[in-house]
Amino acid sequence: MTGNQIIGQILSGVSRGMMLFLISSGLTLIFSVMNILNFAHASFWLLGAYFTWTFWKILYSPIFGLWASIPLAALTIGAIGWIIEVILIRRIYDRTLTEQLLLTYALVLIIGDLIKLTWGVADRIVPKPKMLSGLVNVFGSPFPVYYILVISLAGFVALGLWWLLYKTRFGRRVKASVFSREMVGALGIPIHRIYTGVFVLSLIIAGLAGGVQAPISSVTLGMDMSIIVECFCVMVIGGFGSLIGALVGSLIVSLVYAFAIMVVPKMALVLIFIVTAIVLIIRPWGIFGTAMRT
Amino acid sequence: MGDIWYSDEDLSNMMKTNSFRLYLWFALIFGGSIVLPLVVGVFWIHVLTEILILGLFAMSFNLLFGYMGQLSFGQAAYYGLGAYATAMMITKTSIPFPLCIIASILIAGICALIFGYFCVRLVGIYFAILTMAFGQLVYYIIFQWYEFTGGDNGIQGIPCPMLLRNAYSYYYFALIIVTIAIILMWRIINSSFGYTMRAIRDNCNRTRFIGINVEKHMLINFVIAGMFAGLAGSLWAPFNRSVSPDLANWTHSGIPVFMTIMGGPSNFFGPLIGSVVYTILFTSVIGFTEYWPLIMGTIIILMVLFFRGGIVEIFNKKTGQIDMNGSRKEGIFIQNGLRDSATNKGAE
Amino acid sequence: MGSEILLQIRELNKTFDGFRAISNLNYELRLGELSAIIGPNGAGKTTFFNLITGYHRSDSGQILFNGKNITGFPPHLISNLGIARAFQVINIYPTLTTYENVRQAVLSDQKRTLDIFTLASRLGRQETMEILQSCGISGHANVISGTLSQGDKKRLELAIALGNKPKLLMLDEPTAGMSGEESKETMELVNTLNREKNLSIVFTEHDMSVVFGYARRITVLHQGEIIADGTPEEVRGNETAQRVYLGEEA
């Protein structure tokens, strides 16, 4: 195994980790603010990829096609998220854990089938824009230019979320409501709007990530099922409710996977779960999580 | 401060009246299941067998959920292990079928012992996710270990043991096994151990303070639940003639959760009722559309939003009291303590 | 008095995030004592109970029960050794009947909790009914305990603790929320348990009439330290205690 190969693997791991972070960040936001574990989060991500394909097909334009499709898809997912929050999610804030999990599990089933109904079972392919389809040389290893987009986007989202949560009034309210729902309500701050806002924002990010994912590999049914479990692993390792944790956890999961693929390819996926289980056993609330905040 | 002394006789009489009602229901259901196959066609025999097997699976889940208060999203791991163990033993060895079943139960139990040791140290969502992680671990091992398990091809063409090739025979065979299993479960739930589970569910902290090693007891229950799930899986393999890794996947773990919530987790037979409803619905729907997940998802949403106690709860509201859990005559019917146990456990 | 020492605490310390809850505490309890721990809110009474019963681990110091070092033991082991506790905030099994609540403790005492073969309905009847009767709640044996009145729940709280046949009973505010009449009944029961069954009892209370009416020894806690310890008369006459806590009372 040459040094170049190792570097190549690390880079590949990092970019995959950034995609995982994009999805997990929304999952973490929803969990930390509303205490709901959204099984369907990756399904919205997948939906974003499919919508991107559709918009790209409609807008068929070699220059603007993808650049317009991705944001459009993200906004569409955000809109869908808004509807779902108002109709469904809002009703389960006070319910037991089981009921919440069942409901989001139901969403996984429904969205999966709706995708199948709308787009069929064939793989959908979205080509990368010319500008981003080449390779660059990073430390002697060939690296797809497109991945730079992924990494930059993830960085942008991370910074954006940080700014939003720590530098704006909305962010302060969000953090206050994490701390105490009753207090915020008593202070006259519209808690429902905060929840809706957080949910929609998370889904926009998911849709965005889905759109960016579309050109990377073909868009297939069932991608969401395996990704969501990886996201849970990310949250476990990084810490429930922590955005830094989502970032670090994503990197750890992806790098473990990247190296495992090289060394013990068959055990790669298994290894992720072993690591997850170990973290849960030693430190149930993850690296950056705070103890038992249910 | 009324001072009434209930003699031994009084107490046992009280329990007897409730037991009588229970035995009556049990006899009706059991009698029905014996007679029913004689009036329905072969197709429905298959459905009935499936109801029994999945019902057992769901009831094993409820041992952990309804009676111990913890949500496991990885029960399918033990079901899958049982199914695969039996499948591999039947197809690759000449071990007689009854021994295959027993071995499968033991394998599932050992796995539950190893995983459970770590799971019982957590509660609430952490417990759910760890059980899910271990479940996926089993799934991926089965999926990747192509040489041993057939990978994602699964194992096809599992022969049914000679005497049970007939659909009717297999049905009665499954009926006997599942009935025995249910009777065992009933005894366990109403034993001293079973009540200790209920105590752990209601108030884990208090239970420690009356001298009970909670983790140890939870682990034993976890293993028992795993063994019943393994038994269900081992009944499934020759029935379905094939097994696939999906049997152990987390989405499959959702099935007993759904069945139990739909039937009503606060009732002993709730999961079985859920299995009846689920299997009949599934069989009917899959006949005219492939979009079963869509329908199932919609039903789940309606159920969670509007029918909270499950079917049993709906019945209770209409007829008064169909309580099958022993000596309860006064007092309002309380949901079986399905609160998040996160606040109950942990001395931190 | 010449009776043996049941509970011995040496140099006990506990700090929570910089807050000194218990500070170099030394305490001895003899067999058969009926003793009260009093002190203003935050004095450390509940922490004291929590440390003895294993809910918290002390930072340093030793706890000996019946000569055995139980420092750092988990709650269930301490309970098995003979220390039972009734909680300040009602801590029962709300979906089980009153009878089943107490029976659970009895089953634990009889070491039958791992028994998956014997139906629970056949076990522990005599002992459970006796305890229910002595606590005055046998009339509600078959009622789901979540629906009991507050006073009955408090009595059940005590009854569960008795199920373990403890040698030392620790009661955290046994008459909290009770009327005068109910308090008297409860304390009479406590007194009887102490006198007739030779059960050593330690309780915390805010109601001074209860404390001075029944306790034969009072320990005053303040900011994690014992500032007075002795018979009711001695404590009444203690100036520091007066200043810190008793103030207008008794």
Q: pLDDT of A188-203, one tens digit each? A: 777 888 899 999 999 9
Contacts of B335 in chain A (CB under 8 A): none
Alpha helices in chain B (DSSP H): 8-35, 42-65, 76-92, 97-119, 124-144, 146-149, 167-189, 192-202, 204-209, 214-240, 250-263, 270-288, 292-306, 310-319
The least confident of A146-155, B18-27, B180-189 is: B18-27
pLDDT digits (tens, 9 = 90+) for C40-64: 887 888 899 999 999 998 888 999 9
Question: Could you give the percent of chain B with pLDDT greater than 90?
Answer: 59
At residue B328, the pLDDT reads: 36
Task: Flag whether pLDDT at B329 surpasses 60.
Answer: no
If you search the block for the tokens 């450390």, which residue do you land on?
Answer: C44
| Coil vs helix vs strand at A96 | coil
Task: Flag whether pLDDT at B348 surpasses 70.
Answer: no
For residue A3, name the pLDDT band (cuts at 50, 70, 90): confident
* Cα A234 from Cα A231, distance rounded (Å): 5
The least confident of A271-275, B237-241, B292-296 is: A271-275
Cβ(B261)–Cβ(A98) under 8 Å?
yes
Contacts of B343 in chain A (CB under 8 A): 294
At residue C160, the pLDDT reads: 94
Cβ(A43)–Cβ(A224) under 8 Å?
yes
What is chain C's length? 250
Task: Find the CB nearest B190 among C76, C99, C120.
Answer: C120
Element (H, E) at A175: helix A169-179
Q: Is residue B170 part of a domain?
A: yes
pLDDT digits (tens, 9 = 90+) for B126-168: 899 999 999 999 999 999 888 888 888 889 888 888 777 888 8
In angstroms, what separates the C-alpha of A106 from chain B's closest C-alpha?
4
In angstroms, what separates the C-alpha of C169 from chain B's closest C-alpha?
12
Question: How many beta carbons lie within 10 A of that of residue A114, not counting itself?
Answer: 17
At residue B5, the pLDDT reads: 52
For residue A294, name the pLDDT band (cuts at 50, 70, 90): very low
- Provide the CA C119 distance to its chain's centre, in angstroms: 31
* Residue B50 CB partners (closer than 8 Å, separation 6+): B239, B279, B283
Query: Hey, which residues does C109 pair with through a beta bridge?
Result: none
As a whole number, mean pLDDT of residues B267-271 equals: 90
What is the arrangement of strands in the sheet containing C19-30, beginning at the earlier edge strand?
Answer: C19-30, C5-16, C60-65, C68-69
At residue C224, the pLDDT reads: 85
- Provide the CA B125 distance to its chain's centre, in angstroms: 20
Q: Is residue B267 part of a domain?
A: no
Task: Flag whether pLDDT at C2 surpasses 70.
Answer: no
Contact B71 A106 (CB under 8 A): no
At residue B164, the pLDDT reads: 78
Task: Flag whether pLDDT at C79 surpasses 60.
Answer: yes
Task: Find the CB nearest B294 among A95, A97, A113.
Answer: A113
Identify the CA nearest to C54 among candidates B196, B215, B217, B209. Answer: B209
Residue C37 phi, psi dihedral angles, 5° rounding = -115, 120
In angstroms, what separates the C-alpha of C147 from chain B's closest C-alpha?
7
Q: For residue B50, give its domain range.
A: 45-247
C47 contacts chain B (CB < 8 A): no
Which residues 191-250 on chain C approach chain B with CB closer than 8 angstroms? none
Query: Hey, which residues does C204 pair with through a beta bridge?
Result: C37, C172
Written as six digits, the tokens of C135 are 């606590």
At residue A17, the pLDDT reads: 94
A88 contacts chain B (CB < 8 A): yes
Q: Is residue B18 part of a domain?
A: no
Alpha helices in A35-168 (DSSP H): 41-58, 65-87, 97-119, 145-167
Residue of B nearest to A113 (CA): B294
- State yes or no: chains C and A have 3 or more CB pairs below 8 A: no
Task: Flag whether pLDDT at B237 surpasses 90.
Answer: yes
Q: Is residue B273 part of a domain?
A: no
In angstroms, what separates the C-alpha of A266 from chain B's closest C-alpha?
6
At residue B326, the pLDDT reads: 34
As a whole number, mean pLDDT of residues B221-238 equals: 97
At residue B37, the pLDDT reads: 76
* Cα A215 from Cα B279, distance rounded (Å): 40
Written as six digits, the tokens of C167 are 């040698």
Task: Flag whether pLDDT at B333 surpasses 70.
Answer: no
* Residue A150 CB partners (closer than 8 Å, separation 6+): A15, A18, A19, A212, A216
Q: Which residue has the higher pLDDT, A196 or B15?
A: A196
Question: How many beta carbons lie within 10 A of that of residue C169, not counting itself?
Answer: 25
Q: What is the CA radius of gyration of chain B?
A: 20
* Cα B85 from Cα A201, distance rounded (Å): 46
pLDDT digits (tens, 9 = 90+) for A206-261: 999 999 998 888 899 989 988 998 999 999 899 888 889 999 999 999 999 988 88
As a whole number, mean pLDDT of residues B305-314 equals: 79
Contact A112 B293 (CB under 8 A): yes
* Cα C218 from Cα C231, distance rounded (Å): 6
pLDDT digits (tens, 9 = 90+) for A120-168: 998 888 888 777 777 887 777 788 888 888 999 999 999 999 888 888 8
B348 contacts chain A (CB < 8 A): yes
Q: How many degrees, rounded to 5, is the angle at CA C238 between CA C232 and CA C240?
A: 130
DSSP string, C163-193: TT--SEEEEESTTTT--HHHHHHHHHHHHHH
Identify the CA nearest to A117 among candidates A50, A184, A33, A214. Answer: A50
B117 contacts chain A (CB < 8 A): no
Q: Is residue B147 part of a domain?
A: yes
Task: Flag whether pLDDT at C149 surpasses 90.
Answer: no
Domain tally, chain B? 1
Q: Is residue B87 part of a domain?
A: yes
Task: Flag whether pLDDT at B295 surpasses 50.
Answer: yes
In angstroms, what separates the C-alpha of A91 from chain B's closest C-alpha?
8
For residue A182, name the pLDDT band (cuts at 50, 70, 90): low
Identify the CA nearest to A274 among candidates B140, B146, B122. Answer: B140
Q: Is residue B10 part of a domain?
A: no
B10 contacts chain A (CB < 8 A): no
- Show me where the domains of chain A are located: 9-221
Q: Chains contacting B with at least 3 CB pairs below 8 Å?
A: A, C
Q: Quote the mean pLDDT of chain C.
A: 88
Identify the CA nearest to C233 among candidates C248, C217, C249, C209. Answer: C217
Question: How many beta carbons lie within 10 A of that of residue A189, not counting itself?
Answer: 15
- State yes or no: chains B and A have 3 or more CB pairs below 8 A: yes
Question: Could you give the percent of chain B with pLDDT greater than 70?
Answer: 84
Burial of A10 from C-beta contacts in 10 A (0-12 / 13-18 / 19+): middle
* Residue B90 CB partners (closer than 8 Å, separation 6+): B97, B100, B158, B159, B161, B237, B238
* Residue C111 CB partners (closer than 8 Å, separation 6+): none
At residue B181, the pLDDT reads: 96
Task: Flag whether pLDDT at C70 surpasses 50.
Answer: yes
Contacts of B130 in chain A (CB under 8 A): 277, 280-281
Contact C93 B203 (CB under 8 A): yes
Contact B134 A273 (CB under 8 A): yes
The least confident of A178-187, C63-72, C153-162 is: A178-187
C-alpha torsion sign, points B234, B240, B241, B246:
negative
Contact B1 C75 (CB under 8 A): no
Cβ(B79)–Cβ(B248) under 8 Å?
yes
pLDDT digits (tens, 9 = 90+) for A23-55: 999 999 998 888 889 999 999 999 999 999 999
Residue of C nearest to B8 (CA): C125
B285 contacts chain A (CB < 8 A): no
In angstroms, what separates the C-alpha of C137 from chain B's closest C-alpha?
7
pTM, to two decimals:
0.89
Contact B195 C119 (CB under 8 A): no
At residue C247, the pLDDT reads: 54
Identify the CA nearest to C103 among candidates C80, C79, C119. Answer: C119
Written as six digits, the tokens of A258 are 């990247």
As a whole number, mean pLDDT of residues A68-89 equals: 93
Residue-range domains of chain C with CATH: 1-82+168-250 (3.40.50.300), 89-165 (no CATH)
At residue B325, the pLDDT reads: 42
Contact C160 B15 (CB under 8 A): no
In angstroms, what separates the C-alpha of B123 from chain A's closest C-alpha?
9
DSSP string, B243-303: B-GGGGSHHHHHHHHHHHHHH-TTSTTHHHHHHHHHHHHHHHHHHH-S-HHHHHHHHHHHH
At residue B7, the pLDDT reads: 57
Burial of A153 from C-beta contacts in 10 A (0-12 / 13-18 / 19+): buried
Question: Could you give the percent of chain C with pLDDT greater than 90?
Answer: 36
Contacts of B192 in chain C (CB under 8 A): 107, 112-116, 118, 120, 123
Q: Which residue has the higher pLDDT, C86 or C197?
A: C86
Query: Hey, which residues does C38 pair with through a beta bridge?
Result: C220
Q: Quote the mean pLDDT of chain B.
A: 84
Task: Flag whether pLDDT at B90 surpasses 50.
Answer: yes
In angstroms, what separates the C-alpha of B326 from chain C's closest C-alpha?
9
At residue B105, the pLDDT reads: 97
Contact A95 B304 (CB under 8 A): yes
Residue of B nearest to C125 (CA): B8
| Coil vs helix vs strand at A159 | helix
For residue B338, name the pLDDT band (cuts at 50, 70, 90): very low
C154 contacts chain B (CB < 8 A): no
Q: Which long-range contacts (CB under 8 A, 24 or more apart) does C105-108 make?
A: C105/B210, C105/B211, C105/C160, C105/C161, C105/C162, C105/C163, C105/C164, C106/C131, C106/C163, C107/B192, C107/B195, C107/B196, C108/B196, C108/B210, C108/B211, C108/B212, C108/C79, C108/C163, C108/C164
At residue B243, the pLDDT reads: 94
Residue B345 phi, psi dihedral angles, 5° rounding = -110, 160
At residue B340, the pLDDT reads: 27
Q: Is residue B174 part of a domain?
A: yes
For residue A62, name the pLDDT band (cuts at 50, 70, 90): low
At residue B19, the pLDDT reads: 65
As a whole number, mean pLDDT of residues A66-81 equals: 91
Contact A280 B251 (CB under 8 A): no
